[in-house]
Structure formats: C-alpha cells, structure tokens
Structure 1
Amino acid sequence: MLRADTTTLLSTPMKFSSTISQLTLLGFILAMLPLVGAIIHTYWQVDKLAGTMHSMVSDSTEASEAGRMIQSKLISAERSAGQYLVLSEKELFDRYKDQRIQLIQAIQHLRSLNLSEEIGNRLEQLQTSEQVLYDKLQHIEEASPEQVQQLTHNIRLLANIAQPLPLEVSYAITNRRQVLDQNVTDIQRLLLWQVLALVPLAMLLGIVISILLNRPMKRLKNAIHRLGDGELTTPVVVSGPQDIHDLGQRLDWLRQRLAELDEQKLTFLQHVSHELKTPLTGIREGTELLLDGVTGKLRGEQAEVVEIIRDSSLQLQAQVEALLGFNSALLQKSPSRNERLRIDLLLDDVIEQHQLAARSRQIDMLAQIEIAVTRGDREQLRVLSGTILSNAIKFSPLGGTIHIKLRQMRQKVIIDIIDAGPGVHGEDQKQIFEPFFQGRNTPKSHVKGTGLGLAIASRYARLHHGQVLLQQSKKGAHFRIILPAEEINRADKRTRETAKLEKQV
C-alpha cells in the first residue's frame, strides 16, 4: 500500500508555473531595469553634453574668427571708402564693393551663430549703416560738399558701431561657457540623485524578492523541524513558488505516512506489552508459590534458580509497564487532570521517596525549595521530577552530592537537579530524550534500563506546556524542568511555613 502510494505520487507530473529560478530571474530583471534605464539616461545626457561642448567650441572659434574678419574688412572698407570720397576713382569703389561683400558675409555668419541678442542688434545696426553708406557712395557725383562731409561722418560711425563687438563676442562666449559649466554641474547632481534613488530601489526590490523566497523556505524549514520533533498532527501547507509548493505537498504526504507508521508502532507496542504482561504475571505468581513452599520445600540451589526467575520476571514486568506508560504518554494530547498544584510540596514528597535509594549509595541531597505553584496532573509531574532525580542518584558516584533547587520567577516554575556523576557525553546530548536511547556513560554495575525514562519525562513536560532541558555544567549532569507558573497566594505561604515546621519536628 505504502509503495503503491509512493509510486503514484512520484509519477504525478510537476507544474512549474512559478519556480524559484523564474522568481529569481524576475527579481534580477526588475532590479536591472532601473539600472539599465539610468545607464541609458546617463549616456543620453553625456552625449547631449558632448554635443553641446563640441558646438560651443566650434561656435566660439567661428565667432572669434568672424569678429576678427568683421574688424579687418571694416577697416579695409573704411579706407577704400575714404579714398574714394577724396579721389572719386572707380577702381577704389570696386575695391570697396568687394570688401563690402566680404564684410556682409562675415556679419551674416556671426549673426547665424546667435551668440546674444545684443550682438544680433549691433550686427543689424552695422549692416544697416553700411547699406546707407553704400547707397550714398553710389551717387557721390551728385553729392554736395555737405553731403560728402556727412558720408565721412557715416564712415567713422561704422567704426564706432563695430568697436565694442570683440568684447561683446568674448563676453557671449564666456556666458556660454558658464551655462555649459552649469549644465555639467546639473548632470553631476542628476547622476548623484539617480544613484541615491536607484540603490535603495534595488535594495527594496532585493528585500521584496528575498521575502518572497525566504517566507516559503522558512515555512518549509519549520515543517521539517516539526516532522523531526515528531509533530505529525499539523498539516504541511507551504505557499509560494510552484516547486516549493510541490515540495510542501510531498512533505505533507511524508507526514501522513509517518503518522500512519507511528500509529502502527504504538498499536504494536500496546499489543505486545499486553501480551507479555499476562504470561509474566503467571510466571511471577508461580515463582512466589514455589518460594512459599506450596509445592514442597526447595533445596538451596532450587531456591536460587527460582529467585533468579522471579527477579528477572519482575525486571521484565517493569520494562513492560514502562512501555505501556510510554505508549499512554504518546497517545495523550493534554494532561489527564488540570488541577492547581503546589509543586514545592510535590517535590518534597519526591525527595522523601528517593531518600532510601540515596542513603544506600551514601548520597547527600541538598535541596533549596521555594514556594511554586503550577497547574497539571499530579501523578505525571511526580513521574517527571522523580525520573530526573532517580537518574541523578543512578549516575552519581558513592558519597556524591545532588543539588536540587526550585524557584518561581517570571511566570515560570524552574526545577534544577544537578548530580556529581560523569555527565552526558557530548555526542549523546541531542539524543538523550529520544525513546530507547541508552547513553555512553551508563554505570556498568547498574542494571540496564529501557531508555524510556527521559522520553516519558520530556513528553509529560510538553503536555504541561513546559520542557526538560540539559544545561551546560562543568561537572555532572544538570537537568532543568520548566513549567508554567500560577500566582502564589497567602495560603500557599502559610502552607509552606507549616511544612517547614513539620520537617523540623
């Protein structure tokens, strides 16, 4: 049946609609998109800045050249125009026209650079004044002396108009350079803001993807821990990427199979324990009858054999009862009873019950018992504390000392039991609460137990919402029992004082 279910499950086709690799790839793409966008935007800004710089350098060179050309041609044109006014020779006028054409070309080229509105107005004024001069020079033969004198004044006016031009060109180029410097600063600031914005964004995306991946992985991890702790009642439900979801389904299938096997094991233990208990009872009763001489007096050797049989049957019966107790503890989901208990008085009784065993090994039990109250099953808590104390006596050397301390603090009842024995071997510490586990430091002279005592004690502690812990200790074993605490009232304090007086009496 189990094998058929396994084959069916493993043959089921898996769906990878949203796997871890796909989610990781999506996260990588989402994280890279802003970076790629920033790189493209940066490249565009740098390319634009490079174009602006190239244009500015080119315009600056052309503007300086055009300014020098205007000054040079204007001087030549003035000279030719002045000579023409004096000599009235046609060759001088033709030379002026050629120089004028070059001057106008230089003016138009400089205007096309659009350096500034002020330069544009000055060039327009210069070109208009030169056009007026040229028109009047074409009719110089008809001009009166006053008009010739006015033309001379117009020639000087051209020089006055053009005189500030080089300085204005230089100032315009400087302004453009400052604008370019400001653009560079703006781009640097923009890139810095991009970095400051993109780094948190990439981190945020990384955190989101990490959460999306870690949350189902954490659920998966918790489910595995629950299975490892033997918690088989809680279904394994893991959402997230498809492959993790599928793994969660397989873990739940494993949980169900383990629960079935656990139930079969418990049924088997219960059945075998009951089947063994009946014939063992018959063997023990039969040996008692033989030792009582019901069938006749036994000789010395016969009596020895019968005593061995009786002791062995008692030992085996104790182990069977331990199996039954362990089986009963596993089947329980909560304590059989839930009464308010004075754990200090209960611990006093447990210590008193083990005094004889401790004295037989010359072991001192030093107890520091304070008032402590909890809720639960009295017998189960008696077995819990008694098991830990019995182990302490079992593992302590002859003449050793066991320290017992009970206190209630921070809503917890804490019982510490520390022996002077060899302690728990390092490799055994993680397994000592497992059923049927036998530690390496078990005394050779002692009768080997079932390995169920600590498992039952741990189970009873968990039933009471507590725990049994193995603490670090320089010498011997240090076990700590932790249980939920109840509020201590005045009656509890009076009872504790009465118990102390009775002990002293």
Structure 2
Amino acid sequence: MSNHNRRGWRLSSLKQLVLLSFLVVVTPFGILIYYATDALVEQSAEGRVLAKQALEVTRRGQRLEGLAEDITRSARQYQILAKPEIKQRLTQNLLDYREQLSIHSFILTKVEQLNQINALLDNIEQSNAEDANNLLGFTRDINQQVDLILDQRLQALNSTAQHTQTQLSTLALILLVIEMLLILFFSFSIIRPVRRIADRIQALGTGEEYTGAMVGGPDELVELEQQLDWLTERLAEVENEKQRFLRHMSHELKTPLTTLREGSDLLADQITGPLNQSQMEVTQLLQSNSRQLQSLIEQLLDYSRLHQNESVNFHPVKLLPVFIEAIEPYKLLLEQKKIHLTLPKEEHEWTTDRAMLVRIISNLVSNAALYGSNEGDLTLSIEHTNEHCLIHVENDGPTIPLKDVPLLFEPFYQGQNRRQGPVKGSGIGLSIVHDAAESLGATVTLSKNENHRVGFSVCLPISEHPIND
C-alpha cells in the first residue's frame, strides 16, 4: 500500500481528467475559429470599403467626364456669343470640376497630371476655348488611372485573402496534428490504468502474481486498485484456509479410514475366524468402498498439491512399472467387476516426472474401473516415436454424452453418467489428469467415444526441462 504514496502528480479524479482532456482538445479549435473569424471580419470590412470606394470613384469619374463636356461646350459658346449667362455657367462648371477633381486627387499618385489639368482649367477660365478641347481627354486619362489603381487594390485584397487562406490551412493542419497527439495522450492516460487494472484482475483470476506497474491515475482508479489489493489478500487468506482445511480434513479422514481398511483386511484374511459366504461378501464390500474413499481423499490431496504449483522432476522413467503402480489400488475393484486388463507387452522409457505420470494414469484407470462395464476390457497401450509418447487408456462402458464432452476436464463437474457403487464421485479426477498433464507440458484428450468404447490419450512431448538424477 505504501507504493501509492510515491506516485507523482496526477489529477484527483477521473471526472477532472475527462473535463481537462475535453478542454485541452477543444481549445485549439477555438483558437482556429477565433483567428479565422477575425481574419474574415477584417477582410470583409476591407472589401466593403473598397467596393464603396470603387462605386464613388466611378460615379465621380462619370461626373468629371460630364462636367468636362459641359465646360468644353460652354467655352465654345462663350467664345462665339460672349453672353454673361454662358460665362456664369462656365464658371460654375469649372468650380464643380475643381471640387470633384480635388476629391479625386486623393486616389491619384501622379501630381504632374493634376498640375496640368489645373493649368488647363485656368486657361479655360481666361476664355481660351482651344484648351477646353483637351480637357475631356485628360479627364478620361485620369479615370483610367483611377480604375487601374482600384484594380491594383483589388488584386492586393485577393492576395491577402489567399495568404490568409494559406495561413488558416497551415494552422488547421498543425492544430489537427496537435489534436491527434493530445487525443492519444489523454486516451493513453485513461486507458493505461484501466488496462493495468484489467491485467491485475486477469492475474487475480488465474491465481498468478501480478508483477506489472502500479495503476496510478485518478482517485477512482487508485481506490479500485486498493480494493484489488484487499481482494488479493483476502483471496490468499481464503486459499490458505482452503488448503489448511483440505490437509486437516484429509488427515482426519485417513486416520479412521486406515483403521477400517485394516479391520476389513483382517476380516477378509479370516484372522479372527472363518467367515461364511454372506460375511465374506460384506467384508469385500467394506474393502472395496474403503479403497474408493481412500481414492477420493487422495484425489482431493492431489488437487490441492497441483494448485500449489508442485515442482516436477524430470528423469528417465520406465513406463510399465508406472502402469502397475497406478493400477494396484484398483485391482480388487477390477476383479470384482471381472474387467479384463491388458498391459503393453514391451517396456518403454520416457523422460518425465514419475509421480505426476502415476497420478495421471491412476485417475484414468480409476475412471475406467468405476464407469466401465462388468466383464468388459481395460487396455493400456503405448505409441512411441522420436518426438512424443502417446499413452492410451481405453475401456468398455457407456459413451460420454456429447454435451458433457467440453466440460470433462472442469473441476467438480459430473456428467450424466454415474459411477457404480455407493460412494459418489468428487468430479475432480479428470481435472487432476488435465492439470498434471499441463505441469508436464503434455496434453490429454478424449480419443475414443463410440460403440460402447471410451478412451483417453496422453501425449508426452520431448522434455525440454533439465534432467534431475
């Protein structure tokens, strides 16, 4: 638990982490939207100003051309008629032209042309009609220059818009990359502790010790990790209690059972006196069921040892003596059911753990003896190659229902078929076979299940473990 106090900075809750990740991911988009909106507003304002200016300049240019025509016409008329009202109209037109030209001059960049037009206007005002003919041409030149200046400003505005668009595209691409990195970072920050919790739960479920990093992260996940710590300790205590219970119970059961077996053996050997046929049958029944009870107790002990990761010792083992040792506890039951036993005729040797192999064969023979048919066959055979050793245990008896086949090696599972005899089975025989085979790196399979014939095969691979002499 002290490891929790050594963690670095972290957000205090999962809610805060999610909110912060949302804000950090959304902020770059907000910046992009603000920048794009600001640039759009600015360029829109410039566009409106330019449009308004172009409209005013166009109207003013048209007004100047009209005034130039009126001035030219009035100058000619005054030169011919010399009437005061014509002179007055000419003066007014010149005044209006000068006023419009002064406004127009803010756009023009060439001062020389403005000076020429002003000089031309002075000459016209002094009744020089010939100079008035040039006024319209100068006015049109000025309007063309103004149009050119407006086109240049429009092109500049378009260039600015394209530049802004390029900047926004680049900024959007950069922010997209940043967004992806932020999303990956915050996703990893949330997923990593959750994945570690999942690993811890998996290790807890398989009974393995968790050796990964501490979970860390927000308070909710840290609290969940503390609960897992408590659960791990509690399960370890329960497992220890279970193992202690099995050891004590098996000891307490084996002590009176040994007395029963010794007493039944004494009766069967007629040490206390001769027995009639009925008494002998009762004695044999006591012997048979006491052996079955002993087998059940030994299965419980085997199951307990296998789940304590009992070590294995690999060395060359002669297989025929293993078969004989495994069959010995069930010889009386086989004789009572008149089951014909067939063993391999040739000796074989394989590198394995002898105690584990005896445990495997013993439980397979136990199943065959208990579930096998009366006056049936029980065959143990060996297929030996350079790469593996196959041990087959087959017997006559009722076939296993198909729906029971996938669950055969599950602990404490009992299928539809029931063993013969008053002592009920524990349902862990085949589970012990499976676990013991795994400890040897071997596999056990249901190899035959048809025509009132059931068989199991154990495949022992070449041992890669060091051989212990």
The TM-score normalised by the length of structure 1 is: 0.70
1:340-366: per-residue Cα shift (whole Å, max 9, x none)?
Answer: 558xx7599669978x98x98789999
More deviation in 36-45 or 345-354?
345-354
1:262 equivalent among 239, 260, 263: 239
What CA deviation, in whole Å up to 9, does each residue of 1:89-116 have, x standing for no partner? Answer: 665444334323322332233344x4xx
Alignment counterpart, residue 109 of structure 2, candidates 120, 132, 144: 120
Look up the SS of the partner of 2:52 in the other structure.
helix
- 1:34 is matched with 28
- Judging changes above 3 Å, is the alpha-carbon distance between structure 1 residues 227 and 392 closer, same or farther for their aligned structure 2 residues? farther
Of the candidates 46, 70, 77, which is equivalent to residue 71 of structure 2? 77
Equivalents in 1 of 2:377, 2:40: separation in Å?
88
Match of 2:229 in 1: 252
Give the whole-Å Cα distance in 2 for the aligned partners of 1:105 and 1:418. 122
Per the TM alignment, residue 170 of structure 1 is displaced from its structure 2 partner at its CA by 4.1
Contact 1:237 1:252 in 2 (8 A): no
Please state whether the residue corresponding to 2:109 is helix, strand or coil: helix
Alignment deviations for residues 393-415 of structure 1 (CA, whole Å, 9 cap, x no partner): 97799789999888888xxx797
Show CA shifts across 1:115-168 (max 9, x none): xxxx432xx444322332444566x4xxxxxxx7xx555434433322334444
Counterparts in 2 of 1:260 and 1:303: CA distance versus 1, 3 Å? same
Match of 1:292 among 252, 269, 272: 269
- Structure 2, gaps ≥5 residues long: 1-9
**Residues 474 and 103 of structure 1: is their aligned pair in 2 closer, same or farther, counting only changes over 3 Å?**
farther
Contact preservation (8 Å) 2:326, 2:359: no
2:340–2:378 CA contact under 8 A, matched in 1: yes
Paired residues of 2:322 and 2:354 also in contact (CA < 8 A): no
Counterparts of 1:405-484 in structure 2 under 5 Å?
421-422=399-400, 425=403, 429=407, 432-434=409-411, 437-445=412-420, 448-461=424-437, 463=439, 466=441
Instruction: Identify the residue that residue 276 of structure 1 maps to in structure 2.
Output: 253
Say which SS state the counterpart of residue 216 (structure 1) adopts: helix
Offset of residue 304 of structure 1: 1.8
Alpha-carbon distance in structure 1 between the residues aligned to 2:144 and 2:438: 95
2:13 counterpart (19, 22, 37): 19
Q: Distance in 1 between matches of 2:217 and 2:447?
A: 40
Provide the residue aligned with 1:44 in structure 2: 38
2:365 aligned with 1:378: no
Q: State how 1:346-385 maps to structure 2 within 5 Å.
A: 377-384=353-360
- Is there any run of 5+ residues in structure 1 with no aligned partner, and where? 1-15, 141-147, 489-505
In the alignment, what sits opposite 1:100?
A: 94
Q: Is the 8 A contact 1:414 1:481 kept in 2?
A: yes
Contact 1:232 1:258 (8 Å CA) reproduced = no
CA–CA distance in structure 2, aligned partners of residues 210 and 418 of structure 1? 54
Contact 1:417 1:478 in 2 (8 A): yes
Query: 1:17 and 1:167, CA in 2 relative to 1: closer, same or farther beyond 3 A?
Result: closer
Distance 2:96 2:449 in 1: 107
The letter for the 1-side match of 2:40 is: V
2:293 alignment counterpart: 316
Query: How far off its partner does 1:249 sit?
Result: 0.9
Change beyond 3 A, Cα 1:396–1:54: farther
Query: Retained in 1: the 8 A contact 2:419–2:425?
Result: no
**Which residue pairs with 2:464 in the alignment?**
486
Residue 119 (structure 2) pairs with residue 132 (structure 1): yes
Give yes or no for contact 1:372–1:408 (8 Å, CA) kept in 2.
no
Residues 183-218 of structure 1 deviation map (CA, whole Å, 9 limit, x = unaligned): 555555555555544444433322222222222111
The 1-side partners of 2:341 and 2:105 are apart by 114
Q: Which one-letter code corresponds to 1:129 in the other structure?
A: Q
Name the SS for the 2:255 alignment partner.
helix
Aligned pair count reads 439
Q: How does 1:169-208 map to 2 (within 5 A)?
A: 169-183=146-160, 185-186=162-163, 189-208=166-185
SS in 1 for 2:216: coil
Task: Rate the CA distance shift 1:448–1:172 in 2: closer, same or farther, 3 A.
Answer: farther
Residue of structure 2 in register with 1:328 after alignment: 305
Q: Aligned partners of 2:263 and 2:219: how far apart in 1? A: 66
1:468 CA displacement? 5.3
Residues of 2 paired with 1:120 and 1:88: CA distance?
38
- State the alpha-carbon separation in 1 of the partners of residues 363 and 255 from structure 2: 26
Q: Is the 8 A contact 1:238 1:248 kept in 2?
A: yes
Is the contact made by 2:193 and 2:217 (CA closer than 8 Å) also made in structure 1? yes
Name 1:496's counterpart in structure 2: none
Match of 1:209 in 2: 186
Kindly state the Cα deviation for residue 253 of structure 1 after the two structures are TM-superposed. 0.6
In structure 2, the CA distance between the partners of 1:165 and 1:234, relative to structure 1 (3 Å rule), is closer
